[in-house]
Amino acid sequence: MTDFKFDIDGDGIALITWDMPGRSMNVITMEVIEELSGLVDKVTNDAAIKGAVITSAKEAFCGGADLTMLERFGALFADIAKAKGETAANAMVYEESRKLSLLYRKLETSGKPWVCAINGTCVGGGFELALACHYRVASENPKTRMGLPEIKIGLFPGAGGTQRVARMIAPADALQFLLKGDQLKTDRAKAMKLIDAVVPADQLVAAAKEWIRAGGKAVKPWDEKGFKLPGGPVYSKAGMMTFPPANAIYRRETYDNYPAARAIMQVVYEGLQLPMDTALRVESRWFAHILRSKEAAAMIRSLFVSMQDLNKGARRPAGVPASNLKKLGIVGAGFMGAGIAQVSAAAGLDVVLIDRDQETADKGKAGLHKALSDRVMKGRMKGAERDAILEKITPTPDYNALKDCDLVIEAVFEDRKVKADVIAKIQAVIRDDAVFASNTSTLPISSLASEFKEPARFIGIHFFSPVALMMLTEIIMGKETGDKALAVALDYVRMIKKTPIVVNDSRGFYANRCVLAYIREGHLMLLEGAPPALIENSARMAGMPVGPLSLNDETGVDLGLKIVRATEADLGPEAVDPGMKKLLEDMVEKQQRFGRKNGKGFYDYTPGQPKKLWPGLADLLPKKLTREEVEAIDVEELKQRFLVVQAVEAARTFEEKVVTDVREADVGSILGFGFAPFTGGTLSYIDMMGTKTFVALCRKFEKKYGTRFTPPKLLVEMAEKGETFYGRFAPAKKKEAA
């Protein structure tokens, strides 16, 4: 055996210890399936063995399936379809993808009791293994988490998870658990009856064995005569109170963009009306179908494979020693600076938080104390965790406190003069080997670096707000930024557990260019006379997390006006739409509507009440449509405009070499500004549609709405050749950086 260790104690209880060599976490591979299948047979057929406990020798139990294994099914399908036809290829995917489900059912019906002793993370196919066991005991380790997060990468649990969960808890709870993909702490998992016991970590295996010694039952409830579903039959009063409302909620939340979510609804609904073996077969057929969907392929690639590559340092320069970051300086104790301080201190760094005077610096830390205390009050954080974070942060107005920092980040107001003054003060005191980073969202890094004594040590680290919640950081390379600065920035981002993308200097960099195109499209639709509610709902139907008007309120309507004016000043009046400029001027200067920050923007924000679209917005618009004209608006076209305008801007950034890695364009678009995740990201969206079709759609919109839809030359060339971004610019694989 390679991946498991097998021992039998004096009581005839087998201990199977999962410990894959060369990996930090156990994952499910074809080799693991084969090896575990042999162990199930051994336990079943050896009369001397009374039962088995399966546990892990690593800090975590299992991270789920190796998704690169599932990725390979796509290539295998194409090969078989070409050689033997699509029917044979479909049969292959079905048979291969259900091997794990068959294995777990074999374990479940083996006639011997199996116990899963869970330590640390246990998710995906690993948790499905636990559900197949007859008893589950978890350690009290605070890091222990359990769940079925497959929905987040365009899949659903395909090894019996949908059927077992829906037979263990009421279907309403089961659907919520499966569709949200959340990971549960031990107390929540036990309360939901998804695990049976929680014990101290050093008693884990002993407690598991004791259950077998005490006569633990080797038959699942659903395999016994007279089993009743926890929520009652599907066609019962309780069932009718579950499935129709669940279907409505599913459509409200997904707009039918996620085939895997629809499949979960289907397999739970169908499966609960069937015997277990037939239900598992239904689940397997749907799983094979979803596995071949373009949405699953794109989401697996971007949200698992590519994200994992980036998190492991795919863009880190080779040959640069690992950074030993211990102390961080942050200049600017406002909302953004305090957020950066929080995530940095939580990662174990000592943080110096500087502002113009002691009172302002203290105010930044006090705001952070309040925000963290709110989390403690809501049970999302322990008081000791809050105190440990705050203890690491030292507020001060004294720039000399930066002299022993390894990395300094300025997070002051987005004004060139203010930043220049701060840069001068910082470079006067920091070490000659320290790296300097600017958290700017719009100002070009190269021009800011010209104020610094050694531009090779100057880099941009663009955080997204709120820092604690947003998982992306944009690392911006100036013209003279050196490899060491890039390596330090990437090492720092890895420490604070964010996903980095590396981009080259440009106005708005990558994320903001695409975001501004999205918000601008919403403004222009308003000026065309489209009702605000239709604009917002169409954007959400397209897959965006919030509508463009709502997003503008969050970022600040006044900031939008500043960006328009700065663009006009730098690039000329033809670079901005005069109607959009007037709309923003009316909103900000005449109506004093700055967005959520002052409770008035495109929406009205009344404390304690849901936000509502501002009724006065209609009076600012130059065009008013009749009811017949509104009803004639093509909603599908509105949806396409929102996605196409962002994707074509992403293609421009790629042509201009602002973004140079397709993985970063896609991951950055989903994590940074919520581009429809089911597409896999901006460039995957183009590939999914086909470059030829996408360019034709751009031409249609260009003719109808203007040059913002003009496809770049690169895209036109790719369309003519029938190329895709991932075909032409496939990233070279390399080993994880130091």
pLDDT tens digits for range 413-469: 877 788 889 999 999 999 999 999 999 877 788 888 888 989 999 999 999 988 999
Of all residues in the chain, what percent carry a pLDDT higher than 90? 82
Burial of 29 (0-12, 13-18, 19+ CB in 10 A): middle
Q: How high is the pLDDT of residue 733? A: 55
Domains and CATH numbers, the chain: 4-292 (3.90.226.10), 327-506 (3.40.50.720), 512-657+661-728 (1.10.1040.50)
Task: Please tell me what DSSP assigns to residue 721.
Answer: H
Q: What is the mean pLDDT of residues 554-582?
A: 88
Kindly state the average pLDDT of the residues 157-165.
Answer: 97
pLDDT band at 736 (very low <50, low <70, confident <90, very high): very low
pLDDT over 60 at 406, yes or no: yes
Q: Is 271 left (phi over 0), alpha (psi -120 to 50) or beta?
A: alpha
Choosing from 134, 289, 369, 462, the catalytic residue is: 462
Cα gap 723→689, rounded to integer Å: 12
In this prediction, residue 737 carries a pLDDT of 32
The answer to which of 72-81, 204-213, 295-304, 689-698 has the lowest mean pLDDT is 72-81
Instruction: Say if residue 735's pLDDT is above 70.
Output: no
Whether 338 and 367 have beta carbons less than 8 Å apart is answered as yes
Reply yes or no on whether the pLDDT at 81 is more than 90: no
Quick one: tokens of 161? 């998870």
What is the spatial distance between Cα 43 and Cα 4, in angstroms, rounded to a whole number?
14
Average pLDDT, the chain: 93
**CA 481/CA 490 separation, integer angstroms:** 13
CA distance 275 to 287: 18
Region of poorest pLDDT, from 75-89, 117-131, 358-372: 75-89
Is the predicted pLDDT of residue 212 greater than 90, yes or no?
yes
Q: Is 523 a known active-site residue?
A: no
312-368 pLDDT, tens digit per residue, is 999 999 889 999 999 999 999 998 999 999 999 999 999 999 999 999 999 999 999
Encode pLDDT of 1-21 as tens digits. 899 999 999 999 999 999 999
Residue 6 — φ and ψ, nearest 5°?
A: -130, 120
Helix ranges (H only) for 214-293 are: 237-240, 243-254, 259-271, 276-291
In the block, residue with structure tokens 């246990």: 122
More confident residue, 270 or 76: 270
Residue whose token pair is 């949908």: 162
What is the rounded distance in angstroms from the CA atom of residue 176 to the CA atom of residue 192? 12
